[in-house]
A = this chain, B = another copy of it.
Amino acid sequence: MAKYVYFFGPKGTEGNASERNLLGGKGANLAEMCLLGLPVPAGFTISTECCTEYFKLGGNFPKSLAAEVAEALKKTEAAMGMKYGDADNPLLVSSRSGARSSMPGMMETVLNVGLCTKTIPGLVKKSGNERFVYDAYRRLITMYSDVVMEKAEGIEPAEGQGIRVQLEKIMHEHKKSKGVTEDTDLTVDDLKKLCNEYKAKIKQVLGREFPDDAMEQLDGAIGAVFKSWNGKRAVSYRRIEGIPDDWGTAVNVQSMVFGNMGDDSATGVAFSRNPATGENKFYGEWLVNAQGEDVVAGIRTPSPLNEETKNDQNRHLQSLETEWPELYKELHDIRDKLESHYTDMQDIEFTIQDKRLYMLQCRSGKRTGTAALNMAMDMLAEGLIDEETVVTRVGASQLDELLHPLVDPAAEKTAEVVAKGLPAGPGGACAQIVFTSTEAVKWANAGKKVLLVREETNPEDVEGMRAAEGILTARGGMTSHAALVARGWGKCCIVGASELQIDVAAGTMRVGKEMFKQGDYLTLNGTKGLAYKGQLAMIDATENPRFQKFMEIVDKYRTMGVRTNADTPEDATVARGYGAEGIGLFRTEHMFYGEGSEEALFQLRKMILSSTDEERQAGIDGLAPFVKKDIKATIEAMDTLPVTIRLLDPPLHEFAPSTVEGQKEMAKALGTTVEEIEKRVEALHEVNPMMGHRGVRLGITYPTLTEMQIRAIFESMKELKAEGKNPKPEIMVPVTCAVNELNVTKKIYDRVKAEVDPSLDVPYGTMIEIPRACLLADKMAETAEFFSFGTNDLTQMGFGFSRDDIGGFLNEYIQQGILEADPFQTIDQAGIGQLIQMAVEKGRATCGKLKIGICGEQGGDPASVEFCFKNGLNYVSCSPYRVPIARLAAAQAAIAAKKS
């Protein structure tokens, strides 16, 4: 029979930190802290396996669970010297979720479980604080009715009709009738009365009594946590984070300790180092006479832990260090112990009850990219971790954040500060403000950049936060919801900018006398906590010398190559700066887009719109000098490094003039009528251009077009060599589905090479971007000297998803969990991955040393980079700004492979 329950306490702890898959992160670390001898209130963890079983049983506990819980509860009672449900010496417990991977605020928690008619008097006697007990009872009733009796039962009340809101209304009216504003102004009698009214309301609204039996409360609280794994918010968060649905959550039932038992009690959250900057200083916040949720919710501005980390927002408040020096020292020692034990920055929750310190949680702390980099390099210097660990300590998205723009300091000097807040997520963001998550998503989907401005954020806001460039809140501290989530995603974020007066309904925000409305521009400096009016200039953030040093270490452990997709000498130069080892994709067609392209485009149009072979050839001849100039400049910029030049790829219709003016110009150039040109443009139109006359198909039907391009490449190379350069162009044929396409084109290659200079060595390869090319990769490799996966098209055709048209359904697919992720962002390993694997195997079966790369946009996605590494690719190629991320992901994949 499976074991589901694992006790933790001063002795007899059954789990440890390595068992996070079974016990969840929180449970595993509670057990580990117990093993380290830290003061953890005893309790037990119900495993994730039990959660899975619970859903399998249609929302029922496995039969064996009750006995295991009873036994663990007994051990807990013994450790705490109290008894659950006892009239005289009652033990209260909390029931908290804890998945493998942290999902802050996404699942449910019930506190003060076990408080009922029978146990209240005992607790009053024991605590000597009747008000505290009834306040705890009120909190239990509110939380329990909301989480266990409503949400877990699948009841979906109309907006504002939820039981929690209705109970809060009662409280609000009570306060109003008494003429008070703060909860703390309520007397014991008020609270008693409230509790009774609450219970009556619950009966009326939910049709059930609030349970007055301790064991019934416990069962309900455990089940509700399990159920919250499939709550809407949790599911939505898992989609974004790519967490599988079948992991499940553990439930941690832990003895309650109270930070809100009076002025000798407190609660706090701390980081062993600064999570925003990485600075090696103990950093945290605490609140006297409060429960943990008060700190995280950001309703009261918390006090600093110590003197050295005070800031402008909390300088006036008393630090724990000065208030209770001994307790601070005890906590600081624990911090040291945890850091040297885990060899990583820890995020700690603690509670002080009657001046006694309890540890409620420790876990590896979320951090900004800057912090991750700085901590890793510091810890390397401190001898705490080795180089390989350094490489794994900075996540790809954190590195991404480091590469994100900053507000230009020069621009900041003269800018008008709108508001000051806490620097919760560093970096800069400049965008239009919106006041709801819904608007943020809507605007972002419409292609606009937005800043989400909120009074404070809650888990309902996660999608809006995801969609926004940056987040600005009026309330909350550095460990508030907004701050945690933003840092996790590497988003620019300012919290606690208390001057903001937000009117969501009106869509406005007032700061002092100034009024801002939805759509107005602000610029945030998340590193300083400053919000500026209007749009400020932004700059790059890559000049950090530690970043350079870090990337050197990364490259030491990396075995797979990293190239870039670049179309101009400028891009090529940028990418070289970022460490690109060549160009994996040079798109010859870029020269026809944008400014300065007019003349080349004119020649191309002449070719496209020709009506005879002679006219077409004249167009191609006219085009030749442009193509050559362009190719030559880029391979020169990449001198000594390989440049994979893709032959012309897009359907010609893309370049045809669509305006009357453009058509007039071409009519004149070709000596015909506008009507005729219009007709020719129309004839080029395709129903599904993505699967039309493009890529190598153009080269097959217009072989002289191919010849012109290939000649430009050979001639450029020859000329550069004559200048003493070392150019390394490679020729890549796009959109192939049959080896004969390569053979036909190769004949042109061979002839041109013989004509220009037979000694020039230009590798001849192909994109693998059509499913059939993967299926016949063994044949393709008979002629191709290298493969480069075009995962954009491969994904389009493998899924039958047109990138241009997925707007109508892809979101729905992600939301409903039909697909786990957008396959254009990250390689669909289950499906498209099979095609890639097949092509690698087949290609290498024909030619063992076949060079294989990837140049689709997923080439810069860390999971995709790892996939490429595992499948033995020689290199990935991505946009210039993703090059460092790909280098890191490749190094991490190599280290992971070495370790496993």
A465 CA / B817 CA spacing, docked (Å): 55
Chain B positions within 8 Å of A127 at CB level = none
- Inter-subunit contact B809/A688 (CB<8 Å): no
Interface stretch of the complex, out of A194-202, A214-222, A475-483, A769-777 = A769-777
A700 CA / B819 CA spacing, docked (Å): 12
Contact among B690, B793, B809, B831 with A772 in the assembled complex (CB-CB below 8 Å): B831
- Inter-subunit contact B798/A771 (CB<8 Å): yes
Contact among B691, B809, B818 with A805 in the assembled complex (CB-CB below 8 Å): B691
- Inter-subunit contact B690/A831 (CB<8 Å): no
Chain B positions within 8 Å of A805 at CB level = 686-689, 691-693
Q: Which residue of B lies closest to A817 (CB)?
A: B740
> Is residue A165 within 8 Å, beta carbon to beta carbon, of the partner chain?
no
Residue from the set A741, A770, A800 with the largest chain B CB neighbour count within 10 Å: A800
Contact among B796, B817, B835 with A775 in the assembled complex (CB-CB below 8 Å): B835
> Is residue A158 within 8 Å, beta carbon to beta carbon, of the partner chain?
no
A153 CA / B693 CA spacing, docked (Å): 35
- Inter-subunit contact A809/B741 (CB<8 Å): no
Given A691-B796, A692-B802, are A772 and B828 also a contact pair (CB < 8 Å)? yes
Q: Which residue of B lies closest to A651 (CB)?
A: B805
A801 CA / B801 CA spacing, docked (Å): 14
- Inter-subunit contact A776/B830 (CB<8 Å): yes
Given A744-B816, A798-B772, A818-B740, are A690 and B693 also a contact pair (CB < 8 Å)? no
A-B contact pairs, 17 of them (CB 8 A): A686-B802, A686-B804, A687-B804, A688-B804, A690-B802, A693-B808, A700-B809, A700-B816, A737-B799, A740-B816, A740-B819, A771-B835, A772-B799, A772-B800, A775-B835, A776-B830, A797-B798
A831 CA / B737 CA spacing, docked (Å): 9
- Chain B's nearest CB lies how many Å from the CB of A690? 5
> Is residue A71 within 8 Å, beta carbon to beta carbon, of the partner chain?
no
> Is residue A812 within 8 Å, beta carbon to beta carbon, of the partner chain?
yes
Chain B positions within 8 Å of A830 at CB level = 775-776
Name the interface residues of A762-787: CB closer than 8 Å to any CB of B: 769-772, 775-776
- Chain B's nearest CB lies how many Å from the CB of A13? 40
List the number of copies, as a whole number: 2
Name the interface residues of A246-297: CB closer than 8 Å to any CB of B: none
Q: Which 4 A-B pairs have the closest CB atoms?
A: A688-B802, A692-B805, A691-B802, A687-B804
Contact among B744, B796, B809 with A697 in the assembled complex (CB-CB below 8 Å): B809
Name the interface residues of A818-838: CB closer than 8 Å to any CB of B: 818-819, 828, 830-832, 834-835
- Chain B's nearest CB lies how many Å from the CB of A814? 11
- Chain B's nearest CB lies how many Å from the CB of A507? 23
> Is residue A342 within 8 Å, beta carbon to beta carbon, of the partner chain?
no
Q: Which residue of B lies closest to A804 (CB)?
A: B687
- Chain B's nearest CB lies how many Å from the CB of A773? 9
Chain B positions within 8 Å of A689 at CB level = 687-688, 802, 805
Chain B positions within 8 Å of A691 at CB level = 688, 690-691, 796-797, 799-802, 805
Residue from the set A688, A735, A770 with the largest chain B CB neighbour count within 10 Å: A688
> Is residue A759 within 8 Å, beta carbon to beta carbon, of the partner chain?
no
Chain B positions within 8 Å of A737 at CB level = 799-801, 831
- Inter-subunit contact A793/B800 (CB<8 Å): yes
> Is residue A813 within 8 Å, beta carbon to beta carbon, of the partner chain?
yes
Q: Which residue of B lies closest to A735 (CB)?
A: B800
Chain B positions within 8 Å of A809 at CB level = 693, 697, 700-701
Chain B positions within 8 Å of A812 at CB level = 700-701
- Chain B's nearest CB lies how many Å from the CB of A436? 21
Chain B positions within 8 Å of A832 at CB level = 772, 775
- Chain B's nearest CB lies how many Å from the CB of A649? 12
Name the interface residues of A680-714: CB closer than 8 Å to any CB of B: 686-693, 697, 700-701
- Chain B's nearest CB lies how many Å from the CB of A819? 6
Chain B positions within 8 Å of A735 at CB level = 800
> Is residue A624 within 8 Å, beta carbon to beta carbon, of the partner chain?
no
- Inter-subunit contact A771/B744 (CB<8 Å): no
Contact among B688, B744, B776, B799 with A831 in the assembled complex (CB-CB below 8 Å): B776
> Is residue A667 within 8 Å, beta carbon to beta carbon, of the partner chain?
no
- Chain B's nearest CB lies how many Å from the CB of A344? 37
A806 CA / B688 CA spacing, docked (Å): 10
Chain B positions within 8 Å of A835 at CB level = 771, 775
Chain B positions within 8 Å of A802 at CB level = 686-692
A690 CA / B775 CA spacing, docked (Å): 22
Chain B positions within 8 Å of A804 at CB level = 686-688
- Chain B's nearest CB lies how many Å from the CB of A568? 26
